[in-house]
Structure 1
Amino acid sequence: MDDIPDRADIKVTPPVIFSIYLAVGFLFAWASSLHALPGVLARGLGISLLLAAAAVATTAILALNRHGTPIHPRHATTAIVGEGPYRFSRNPLYLSLVAIYFGLALLLNSLWMVLLGIALAVTLQRVVILAEERYLEDKFGESYLAYKAKVSRWL
């Protein structure tokens, strides 16, 4: 009997990782007055990123739902989705999380949060995305490798 779980071997979920970085970022923003950009520019870019992230996340969730595959990374993936934002990014939900983080960093105009946003992206890639890619390669083989060759990891 095969006792290997049908899911990616992810130790910490993306929302937990995001929440940790957000809490630390808020502390740094509160403790430091180092600004990333001039105020009006930072707010405008921050709002734009938040709106773009909401649009990408919504369309990604709808695409996953249409294919009947779960959103949660600790559940079995049932299909490779290549429509909606998945045509341009293999990880549009993680891209959205990072965009939300940068949007909030810019709304708070915190240079420290911007720098932590880079670390968030690296952490998601190393802790979550690489494990998911190994799982999807094992589960879907050539069809996932073909998708992976065609579509970029982030953008």
Structure 2
Amino acid sequence: MDDIPDRADIKVTPPVIFSFYLAIGFLFAWGSSLHVLPGVLARGLGISLLLAAGAVAATAILAMNRQGTPIHPRHGTTALVGEGPYRFTRNPLYLSLVTIYFGLALLLNSFWMILFGIALAVTLHKMVILAEERYLEDKFGEAYLAYKAKVNRWL
């Protein structure tokens, strides 16, 4: 029997990473009055980002469900998804998480949350995305490499 798990080698799941940065960001936002934009502009952009992130996440989940592949990164992928937002980004759910974070950062108009949003994107890239890409290359070979060659990682 093969003892190699059929999933990416992810140590910490994306929701845990997101929650960590969100808690830290909220603490810094609460303790600081450093703003990034005028209030009305920041709130408008924040709401826009949250709505866009929700739309991207919803369509990504629908696309994965149509292909019958699990959403949770600790489960094995059963199919490559190249429809919906997966035509434009290889990681629409992670893009949505980062966009939600930036939307909240703008709603709070927090300079510190903007900085932590960048750290969130870097952490997701290093701890999750690279491991998932190695797994998908091993599992799907040329089909994934072809997809990877035509679709950007983030946008």
**TM-score, normalised on structure 2?**
1.00
Kindly state the Cα deviation for residue 20 of structure 1 after the two structures are TM-superposed.
Answer: 0.2
Distance 2:83 2:23 in 1: 33
Establish whether residue 89 from structure 1 lines up as the match of residue 110 from structure 2: no
- Percentage of matched positions with identical amino acids: 87
1:47 aligned residue: 47
Distance 1:75 1:62 in 2: 17
Amino acid at match of 1:125: H
Q: Could you list the runs of 5+ residues in structure 1 that have no partner in the other structure?
A: none
Q: Show the 5 A alignment for 1:111-150.
A: 111-150=111-150
Question: Structure 1 stretches (4+) deviating beyond 3 angstroms?
Answer: none
Kindly state the Cα deviation for residue 4 of structure 1 after the two structures are TM-superposed.
Answer: 0.2
2:19 aligned residue: 19
Distance 1:37 1:85 in 2: 29
**TM-score, normalised on structure 1?**
1.00
Query: How many residues are aligned here?
Result: 155
2:74 aligned residue: 74
Amino acid at match of 1:144: Y
Amino acid at match of 2:46: G
1:28 aligned residue: 28
Distance 1:109 1:6 in 2: 42
